[in-house]
Structure 1
Amino acid sequence: MVETSVKPIDEILDLFFLQGTLAIKTRVRLLVIPQSICCQPASLGGVMVLWQTIVRTASGRNSADENFSYDQSSYSRFISESGRKQHLNTSFLIGRNIGGGLMKQRKAIIAILVMVFLICIGSTMAAKIVQVSHNNIKAEVLPGEVGQYEISIKNGQDIDDTFYISVDDMRFALTLLPITDFTGGMKAKAGETVKSMMYLVPSDKLRIGEYNIRVVALSKKTNAVYSDILSIYVAPKPVEKVVIPDVTTTVSINPKIDPRIPLDIEVSVQNNNALDLGNVLVEAKSGLFSKQGTISLGSNGSDSISFKINLDKNQMPRTDLLVVSVSKDNRFIDFQQKDIEIMELKIPFNKGFSEENSFLKTKKTISIENNGNVKMTETIKEQMPFYRRWFTKSTPDYMTEKDSGKKYMTYAVTLEPKEKKQIIITTSYRMLLLFAVLAIIGIIIYYSSRSPLVVLKRAQIIQKKEGGISRLKIFLHIKNRTKHVFDDVRVVDKVQKIAKLIKEEEHIGTVKPNRVVQKKNEALIEWKIPKLEGGEERIIIYKVESRLSILGDFKLRKALVEYSKDNVRGKTYSNEFYVEM
């Protein structure tokens, strides 16, 4: 049933009457409208009677001299015409004398009655969007037994909702099966009807008799409360001597569960009286598994049963409730509850290594897997010398870390349960080989194309005049940098027109020019060296004098050296030299 409320008639009347109008209020109140008409939103008969009161009042009919009773046939015709197929019996009595003053104030009274009618009709039209009902399975119990009911919730809302079930009588213990309906609420989609088995355990101190218990369903989404009334009868023990089953159940289980290891549940049941129960059913249930088996309980006897349960090895951590019940012929005798928990498994990542080798290239693959049941982050280290890191790349990128004096490539890897990932490290020396080959080729080309003779030209200022350079000493340093002997070496240098060669006595270690050729803009000086041994060096020194003082810097041109080897002529040039003041 839908829980709601409507203001009593006195409160409604107080909204419309101020001081000085107490007489009107009193007269209207004399209509003696039963509170049940306005307090029951489904009382359509009360609303119809109230409507007839308004019509009678508006037409001026006095109810002081007549008693009006509700016409059942007229009401039934009204119900059939309006499409309503409900049959409600509601009687309504018009009060006694309203008095002649009511005629003068008829408009005010009609307005008030219309407002009351609208409020009542609004309550009447409120849809029963959520309905709680039950079906008795075992509503009569003996002391120590368990009552059993099927609870139904019809969710007429437009949204999915969860309903938490409780009872208002603390003398009865409540549980639901499946147990998740009790711990997490009964979940109903929009328009869906859901059912659950409810068990009521009366207190041992309850007297014999019938008890009306209110079952409450609390909406998680709207916080609205819906309820239903059920009855349970605690019956007296039969006159004849009847032995009620009395057993003690002991459950042995490790509450911390590793899902990788089979779960062992040991259930022992002791029969506490002389009643021979024979074969009884033992059932172990939780949100993760359900197992059952049969044991035999003789007079004052005992028996036990073991359940071995293989859980999903990838089961995520969670808490659960284990319910172990003992029943005979579908009647519960005893049950025990245990809190259990699937533990977090923080296991080091499982690592696998593989390596592929090819020409000057190595590819190493590290396969990583999280075998735990929680998300984890682990650092993977791979030792590698610094010189190898120059030729190494990896996917994903790595960081470097120093540990105990050694350098490591490190990877921070985060994996979900059962997630896999690979680290690929590739070391290749092929580029190094390419660079080496290119360098060798370059060296070969360089040595094969370079001149065997090296000529270095430099100059020294030996005299200045009038703030400028007047005399220079020029050095030509010639060296055979091979082991070969070169014949007929000819050295030619040029002297600009602005200067002239100074002829001096030949000094030891110098080479005397063979000839000097004067041209229009320059003079050519030529030296000849008949033979130049391997590794031999020669220094040619000569002096020039400027015709005018040279101010500032100037450049000396390159000197030419020609040589012969195996009747093949070759030549090379010296450097240019800049003379600076």
Structure 2
Amino acid sequence: MAKKSWLLAVLVICSVSALGQGFTLHVEPIQDSIYATDPGSRGVFDLFIRNNLPYEDRFQIRIGDDTRWTVEFRPDSHLIRFPVGPGQTSTTRMLVRPTTSNLAYGQYNLSLTVRSDNSSQEKSAGLLIFLKDPGILIDRTYLPSLVIDVDSPQQMDPRDSRIMTVSVENRNPLNISDLVISVSSSVNSLIDNSINTTLGPLEKKRVTFKIAYKDTQEPVQDIIKINVEIPSKNKKFDTLMRSVEVIGYSELKETSLPSKSFLMSYDRREYFNDGNIRRSERVRVPTTLFSQFFTSAEPEARSMKENGQRYLYWNLELAPQEKAKIIITTNYRPLFWSVVLIAAIIIIYLVFRSPITVRKASREVKTTKEQQQEGLSDIKIILHVKNRTNNVVEDVSVIDKVPSIIDPQKEITAGTLHPTKIIKHQKKGILLKWELDSLEPFEERIITYDIVSKLKIIGPILMPSAYVRFKNRFSRHSRVYSNKLYVGGVIK
């Protein structure tokens, strides 16, 4: 029991000790002397509060009831309760100025109290400020002194916009009511802007500028100048310069407008270099070996084959923002009309061709000794007459002529089919005629006869064409002729 009581006492002592060190307080004067007659002159103090607890605590700052002084907090949120994390330190800047000009010159002590919400502990401190004689002019005592810093992008895509931040800090308790910050670009008129602002004593301020370029801005190393001046003090600070690289970009945009008509297709393509640099690009369109023969393009295309696929391709050279147009035409109409024409010719030929064909041939027959002694030549003439249709052809007559060199008395001998007429003419020769009632579908007749020349033949003799006269499908008589034939030769 005594041991437990001892442990409880130790815990109570430790808790009291921890509460006693819950937070620490420290005041650091930045500007502790001011001029009474200068409305912009302010005392500046930094208040540091450290939370020593292992958990977050909230604090409240209270200023004494001396109404002759007013205190501003930076940040403003510290006017009310504000949190401080475990083991962290919070900084509050306090700007002190008198509320009346009737204060006596000398030193004043403004009391402040900091209270912890968790422990309800309070700690106090004093702000010692000295009110100086106004006989000394402020402008002669404090010259404008600024710390200027610039945060700017190093690279930019001209299609985007970025923010440049200019930070200025007043290093003196001087109220600056006409601070002018301006930026300008060496290549871009869009970046030419200035901002008029104010800067209180020991105040730090950030001013932002929008950095933007035209989309068509060429790649360039731009120099942006930052100028800061105080016109009322005739003070210009050194120009700051920042380098911004405008990068190049290029995007090839393709649009296609296909259309079709009877056995024709059109593909109107447009390629646009949406960029600020020149672009070289090979564009291609799939095709086939068959359609390639019926395809034309403007401008003229080349062909290639890759991985078994055929393409039409063009090598484009496009300046920034330049367009190229390609028109591809595939026309199957010539092929169609060629097929139609050939089909029409075939149909017309089949419709109007002669249903009968006749071919004339010859074969020499061995002559006797008597014929050889007399210089005679025996030749067999063969006529092939054929119905090449599946229709019956009626009223068929076959007529052939034999030159007058043939003796009309003895030198002609009919074959198996005898002629119905043999007409002899002294000059025109002999006319042979065979009459057939009809020819059945696909029927072929062979007519032969022998001729014997009555003179020695030196060189071939031209046998005229035989012809067949028949009644066609329109019940009209038509003729079809055979080939001409050379027979005989030199006989010694």
Q: Would you say same fold, with TM above 0.5?
A: yes
Structure 2 match to 1:427: 330
Asked if 1:391 corresponds to 2:294, the answer is yes
Asked if 2 retains the 8 angstrom alpha-carbon contact of 1:454 and 1:480, the reply is: yes
Structure 1 match to 2:483: 575
1: CA distance, partners of 2:210 / 2:314: 41
The count of residues paired between Structure 1 and Structure 2 equals 339
With normalisation by structure 1, the TM-score equals 0.53
Q: Secondary structure at the residue paired with 1:267? A: strand
Structure 1 match to 2:117: none
Structure 2 match to 1:284: 183
Name the amino acid aligned to 1:251: V
2: CA distance, partners of 1:505 / 1:546: 15
Structure 2 match to 1:448: 351
Q: In the TM superposition, what is the alpha-carbon distance from 1:505 to its structure 2 partner? A: 8.1
Asked if 2 retains the 8 angstrom alpha-carbon contact of 1:463 and 1:469, the reply is: no
Asked if 1:550 corresponds to 2:453, the answer is no
Q: 5+ residue gaps in structure 2?
A: 1-136
Greater per-residue strand proportion = 2
Asked if 1:328 corresponds to 2:230, the answer is yes
1: CA distance, partners of 2:441 / 2:390: 4
Name the amino acid aligned to 2:242: K
1: CA distance, partners of 2:376 / 2:302: 65
Name the amino acid aligned to 2:417: V
Out of 338, 341, 355, the residue aligned to residue 245 of structure 2 is 341
Structure 2 match to 1:371: 274
2: CA distance, partners of 1:292 / 1:386: 66
Out of 206, 220, 227, the residue aligned to residue 318 of structure 1 is 220
Structure 2 match to 1:492: 399
Structure 1 segment 253-292 matched on structure 2, within 5 A: 253-272=152-171, 275=174, 277=176, 280-287=179-186, 288=188, 289-292=191-194
Q: In the TM superposition, what is the alpha-carbon distance from 1:415 to its structure 2 partner? A: 2.2
2: CA distance, partners of 1:475 / 1:415: 79
2: CA distance, partners of 1:496 / 1:352: 80
1:421–1:505 distance in 2 versus 1, CA, 3 Å:
closer
Asked if 2 retains the 8 angstrom alpha-carbon contact of 1:295 and 1:303, the reply is: no
1: CA distance, partners of 2:439 / 2:456: 38
Deviations 1:363-406 (A, max 9, x none): 22112211111222322211122322333322211111212212
1: CA distance, partners of 2:460 / 2:165: 109
Q: In the TM superposition, what is the alpha-carbon distance from 1:353 to its structure 2 partner? A: 0.9
Structure 1 segment 74-89 matched on structure 2, within 5 A: none
Asked if 1:529 corresponds to 2:445, the answer is no
1:394–1:579 distance in 2 versus 1, CA, 3 Å:
farther
Seq. identity, %: 30
1: CA distance, partners of 2:138 / 2:144: 17
2: CA distance, partners of 1:431 / 1:302: 82
Q: Secondary structure at the residue paired with 1:451? A: coil
Q: Secondary structure at the residue paired with 2:215? A: coil
Asked if 2 retains the 8 angstrom alpha-carbon contact of 1:489 and 1:529, the reply is: yes
Q: Secondary structure at the residue paired with 1:459? A: strand
Structure 1 match to 2:211: 309
Q: Secondary structure at the residue paired with 1:371? A: strand
1: CA distance, partners of 2:245 / 2:486: 92
Structure 2 match to 1:517: 423
Q: In the TM superposition, what is the alpha-carbon distance from 1:572 to its structure 2 partner? A: 1.1
2: CA distance, partners of 1:554 / 1:375: 83
Q: Secondary structure at the residue paired with 1:378? A: strand
Return the index of the structure with the highest Cα Rg. Answer: 2
2: CA distance, partners of 1:438 / 1:290: 75
Q: Secondary structure at the residue paired with 1:549? A: coil
2: CA distance, partners of 1:452 / 1:542: 24
Q: Which moved more, 1:287-296 or 1:320-329?
A: 287-296
1:299–1:469 distance in 2 versus 1, CA, 3 Å:
farther
Higher RCO structure (Cα 8 Å, ≥6 apart) = 2
Asked if 2 retains the 8 angstrom alpha-carbon contact of 1:515 and 1:527, the reply is: yes
Name the amino acid aligned to 2:465: K
Q: In the TM superposition, what is the alpha-carbon distance from 1:270 to its structure 2 partner? A: 3.8
Name the amino acid aligned to 2:466: A
Deviations 1:544-569 (A, max 9, x none): 22223323334221101011357532
Q: 5+ residue gaps in structure 1?
A: 1-237
Greater per-residue helix proportion = 1
1: CA distance, partners of 2:271 / 2:257: 12
Structure 1 match to 2:304: 401
Name the amino acid aligned to 2:292: R
Q: In the TM superposition, what is the alpha-carbon distance from 1:296 to its structure 2 partner? A: 5.1
Asked if 1 retains the 8 angstrom alpha-carbon contact of 2:414 and 2:450, the reply is: no
Name the amino acid aligned to 1:548: L
Q: Secondary structure at the residue paired with 1:499? A: coil
Name the amino acid aligned to 2:218: M
1:343–1:497 distance in 2 versus 1, CA, 3 Å:
same
Asked if 1 retains the 8 angstrom alpha-carbon contact of 2:414 and 2:449, the reply is: no
Asked if 1:247 corresponds to 2:154, the answer is no
Name the amino acid aligned to 1:383: P
Name the amino acid aligned to 1:496: P
Asked if 1:355 corresponds to 2:262, the answer is no
Asked if 2 retains the 8 angstrom alpha-carbon contact of 1:462 and 1:472, the reply is: yes
2: CA distance, partners of 1:504 / 1:579: 17
Asked if 2 retains the 8 angstrom alpha-carbon contact of 1:461 and 1:469, the reply is: no
Q: In the TM superposition, what is the alpha-carbon distance from 1:502 to its structure 2 partner? A: 5.3
Q: In the TM superposition, what is the alpha-carbon distance from 1:580 to its structure 2 partner? A: 7.7
Asked if 2 retains the 8 angstrom alpha-carbon contact of 1:247 and 1:334, the reply is: no
Asked if 2 retains the 8 angstrom alpha-carbon contact of 1:376 and 1:414, the reply is: yes
2: CA distance, partners of 1:487 / 1:411: 68
Deviations 1:417-438 (A, max 9, x none): 2222321122233333333343
Asked if 2 retains the 8 angstrom alpha-carbon contact of 1:246 and 1:333, the reply is: no
Name the amino acid aligned to 1:549: K
Q: In the TM superposition, what is the alpha-carbon distance from 1:573 to its structure 2 partner? A: 0.8
Out of 481, 490, 515, the residue aligned to residue 388 of structure 2 is 481
Q: Secondary structure at the residue paired with 2:454? A: strand
Q: In the TM superposition, what is the alpha-carbon distance from 1:301 to its structure 2 partner? A: 4.1
1:305–1:314 distance in 2 versus 1, CA, 3 Å:
same
Name the amino acid aligned to 2:483: N
Q: In the TM superposition, what is the alpha-carbon distance from 1:494 to its structure 2 partner? A: 1.0
1:531–1:260 distance in 2 versus 1, CA, 3 Å:
same
**RMSD (CA atoms):** 3.0
Asked if 2 retains the 8 angstrom alpha-carbon contact of 1:477 and 1:537, the reply is: yes
With normalisation by structure 2, the TM-score equals 0.62
Structure 2 match to 1:436: 339
Name the amino acid aligned to 2:164: I
Asked if 1 retains the 8 angstrom alpha-carbon contact of 2:295 and 2:331, the reply is: yes
1:251–1:475 distance in 2 versus 1, CA, 3 Å:
farther
